[in-house]
Structure 1
């Protein structure tokens, strides 16, 4: 089982859209996939028409394997299941701080509850926290959507610095450009500069700024489900193949 985290320390970069479309792409490629929503907003579950679990609350996510597996729901898509979030997930940092061996708790919970899957995709909240560090240690790959703007470039550098300063494996970080607009000079300049600065940390994948991605909330489905020939759907397919090639 591979653990793939969709993470960014900056909000509004297309992280949840990435997690849903990446999980869907891997499932269509033949893998059995569990999409685990760690963000208490529960947007990933909303996109896939899955309601929050009422029983997986408090610290049971980390301690109760039976409740973890009972909370998993099937989706409308073959080979893709979902562990939906609920509002109690906002207290994960508190729960982890009270536990022994807190840094390894998430990985143990995922491997115990998600062991029947080929890949577990995590939709992570946008912050560097106790949960975030647990994600960094548990994941085989950390997929980071980067809007090609100055602030996103800065936060990507901050993430790499955090990994360096805390002895984490930078090779896990796999950035790609998200919500890119080819007509914007700034976007083109930023992508060229970042590719030169981080040649090993950026995948050769660009997901464009596209209305089809925004329409996910209307259709409540991955892009490839309602617009399979779109540029965005093809980009997410390439992202799935690129991530798997790295891990």
Structure 2
């Protein structure tokens, strides 16, 4: 099983939209896929119409008291399963404080018997959870808005990788919420700065079609497959799929 994390230190850059669309496209291509919503806000879970079980105790999952299979839910999309978010997971850093970087990788290991791909929708923080994500993921995709503030946060992630000995080769950037009508966006897309780690060619546009995922509670492919954003996500999935091959 390959593990892909959608991560950025800055919020509001399109992580969840990318995670949902990539996961559903992977499932549509025939790969048994699991989306794990690690963000306590639960936007990916809500979009895919799922909620954590009322009796669930997420701490028991992370501390080894409950098997991970109890958390996996089927979705309305063939080949796509979900581990939904839970607000209690906002305490994850406290639960992980005494552990190393390998807790998440250990939890993911038994899932490889059932899934070919795991997509992680990650909260925007540098934390014990982030360390686990960086250690477990084969690729850390960083959706980046073509602005200096978003690039500054990306630079902080790059510095963190270097400082804590995470392989920089895991990082892949792509432009997100891009508006080519804006001069700065256009200039950065055409001449990516050195801080942009091995950017994919796909550029996800700033578009109402993407925002309507909340209205439809579905990936854009379901309701607007001919939209430029849907085409951009398909290209992103094509590039990621090729990138994950040995």
Question: What TM-score, normalized by structure 1, do the two folds share?
Answer: 0.94
The equivalences for 1:40-119 within 5 A come to 40-64=40-64, 67-99=67-99, 102-113=100-111, 115-119=113-117
**Distance in 2 separating the partners of 1:232 and 1:130:** 33
SS at match of 2:57: coil
Equivalent residue for 1:188, pick from 178, 186, 190: 186
Is the 8 Å Cα contact of residues 144 and 151 (structure 2) preserved in structure 1? Answer: yes
Q: Take 1:199 and 1:219, find their aligned partners in 2: how far apart are those partners?
A: 32
SS of the residue corresponding to residue 202 of structure 1 reads: coil
| Structure 1 alignment gaps of length 5 or more | none
Gaps of 5+ in 2: none
TM-score normalised per structure 2: 0.94
Partner of 1:161: 159
Determine helix, strand or coil for the equivalent of 2:81: strand
Counterpart Cα distance in 1 of 2:88 and 2:67: 14
CA–CA separation in structure 2 for the residues paired with 1:198 and 1:132:
20
Which residue is equivalent to 1:240? Answer: 237
| Contact persistence 2:58–2:86 (CA under 8 A) | no
**Residues 56, 68 of structure 1: 8 Å contact kept:** no
Aligned to 1:135: 133
- Cα 1:200–1:129 change in 2 (3 A) is closer
Q: CA deviation at 1:190?
A: 2.2
User: How many equivalent pairs are there?
Assistant: 244
